[in-house]
Amino acid sequence: MPAFAESVLFGALQLGFWGAVLVCAVAATVLAVRRHSTPDPPVHAPDPVFWDVFMGSAVAIPAILIPTLASPWSGAILAVLGTGAGVAAYWGSPQILAWQERRRQQRQDKPAHTAAQAVHDALLARWSRYELDPACCIDYPAMTDVRLPETSALIRAMREAEQLRPVPHQGYAPAVVRFGVALAAAERAAGIPAGLPAVGR
């Protein structure tokens, strides 16, 4: 009896190991094929889809055949498991690939995002003097009067930049540029001389 139990346990562990290998191989192959399936592949370029299928098959086929040699029902279970993994990966791949693309884009956008944050901080410091410095508030009340079109446009541009700031985003740097342009336009409309020193300077 102990020998039988040990045999069952070994078979279950073996089935679990090969099942995990098979699921990973099938899911990775399906994702790679979906990623490399393009309507217009480059001319004379190696076919990545062929190599995706080849490499996936090199792992998946032995993962089914080796357990099948020991137990045919193990092969049947693994075949069903592999099919299920392939179907699940196929239907889930658009969401997974979209998530990967967002992560890749965020990594690419991060340097520009960091640079835009520095410019954004400088613009906010430049804007804050019109709210924090009593002399500026008295001399240039137009900078806080949202009834004026230039000031209203400035507030909209400032809010847009603030909303896009938390996460790296392609639209953040252009929004900061628009904020700077709107701030300069509002300052011109308010009659503020160029190069007005910031608060505390």
Instruction: Check whether residue 117 and residue 182 sit in a common domain.
Output: yes
Instruction: Check whether residue 75 and residue 94 sit in a common domain.
Output: yes
Whether 201 is covered by a domain: the verdict is: no
Whether 197 is covered by a domain: the verdict is: no
Picking from 104, 133, 148, the residue at the C-terminal end of a domain is 104
pLDDT interval class at 198 (50, 70, 90): very low
7 membership: H or E segment, kind and range: helix 2-36
Which residues fall within 8 angstroms of residue 186, CB to CB, at 6 or more apart? 142, 143, 148, 150, 151, 153, 154
pLDDT per residue as tens digits for the range 31-46: 888 887 755 545 444 5
Instruction: Check whether residue 57 and residue 129 sit in a common domain.
Output: no
- Number of structural domains in the chain: 2
Measure Cα distances from 70 to 65, 66, 200 in Å. Answer: 9, 7, 81
pLDDT per residue as tens digits for the range 39-94: 554 544 457 777 778 788 888 888 888 878 877 788 788 888 888 888 888 888 78
Residue 15 Ramachandran class (φ > 0 left, ψ -120 to 50 alpha, else beta): alpha
The answer to whether residue 199 scores a pLDDT higher than 50 is no
| Mean pLDDT, range 179-199, rounded to an integer | 82
Picking from 104, 125, 148, the residue at the C-terminal end of a domain is 104
Instruction: Check whether residue 158 and residue 170 sit in a common domain.
Output: yes
**What does the pLDDT read at residue 104?**
80
In which domain, by residue range, is 135 found? 108-189
